[in-house]
């Protein structure tokens, strides 16, 4: 599946047909959801399939319905955006040098929060799936905020797509 994802990403990068790129984005998202299922993260896979393969593809196709289906000019490299992106990559690499090792047992999250969630989560929330318990009970306001942001973004995109074009005289 990872090979298919890499081939799909390469096809997205080289295609000039925007309809094909939108379809390939949906395929990539669906492959990503399948990888999450293989990794036993079914809740994340469900979200990826719904938002990534579903809603995002529909929004891209709706945008294409109002614009052209082909990219008009080739990509141009500009110095300032390229320098800003490179600076951001270097800043993030420098900032991440201080983080704990992956899955380190002495990491702060593994010493304080995770043991409580794993040990007392099912009794405190009454939910047997710990991921659902964390998202719905312990982090309920965060989840509500994320849903609100996604809903607001969707309404904004639909409002932009619904605007009528006017001719300039």
Please give the DSSP secondary-structure letter assigned to residue 67. S
Structural domain of residue 8, as residue ranges? 1-72
pLDDT digits (tens, 9 = 90+) for 61-78: 888 887 776 666 666 667
**Assigned domain for 18 exists:** yes
Both tokens of 14, joined, read: 């080289």
Placement of tokens 């270097």 in the chain: 90
Task: Name the residue among 22, 110, 4, 142 with its Cα closest to residue 12.
Answer: 22
pTM (two decimals): 0.55
pLDDT digits (tens, 9 = 90+) for 13-55: 888 888 888 899 999 999 999 998 888 777 788 888 888 888 8
Q: What is the pLDDT of residue 94?
A: 93
Same domain for 60 and 1, yes or no, is: yes
Both tokens of 113, joined, read: 């929060």
Position 169 pLDDT exceeds 50: no
d(CA 111, CA 142) in angstroms, rounded, equals: 22
pLDDT digits (tens, 9 = 90+) for 77-132: 678 888 998 999 999 999 988 888 877 888 877 788 888 888 888 888 888 888 88
Domain count, the chain: 2
**Assigned domain for 124 exists:** yes
Q: What is the pLDDT of residue 71?
A: 64
Last residue of a domain, one of 49, 72, 95: 72
Q: DSSP letters of 73-130?
A: S-----HHHHHHHHHHHHHHHHHGGGSPPTT-TTSHIIIIIHHHHHHHHHHHH--S-H
Measured at the alpha carbon of residue 49, what is the angle toward residues 48 and 51, in degrees to the nearest 5?
Answer: 65
Last residue of a domain, one of 47, 72, 97: 72
């Amino acid at each position: 599946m990872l090979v298919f994802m890499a081939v799909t990403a390469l096809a997205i990068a080289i295609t000039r047909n925007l309809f094909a790129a939108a379809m390939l984005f949906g395929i990539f998202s669906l492959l990503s959801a399948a990888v999450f299922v293989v990794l036993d993260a079914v809740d994340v896979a469900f979200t990826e399939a719904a938002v990534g393969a579903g809603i995002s593809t529909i929004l891209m196709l709706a945008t294409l319905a109002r614009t052209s289906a082909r990219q008009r000019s080739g990509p141009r490299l500009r110095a300032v955006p390229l320098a800003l992106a490179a600076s951001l990559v270097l800043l993030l690499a420098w900032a991440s040098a201080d983080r704990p090792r992956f899955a380190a047992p002495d990491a702060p999250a593994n010493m304080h929060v995770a043991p409580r969630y794993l040990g007392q989560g099912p009794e405190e929330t009454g939910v047997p799936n710990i991921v659902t318990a964390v998202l719905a009970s312990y982090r309920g306001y965060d989840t509500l905020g994320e849903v609100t942001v996604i809903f607001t973004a969707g309404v904004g995109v639909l409002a932009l797509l619904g605007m009528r074009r006017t001719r300039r005289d």
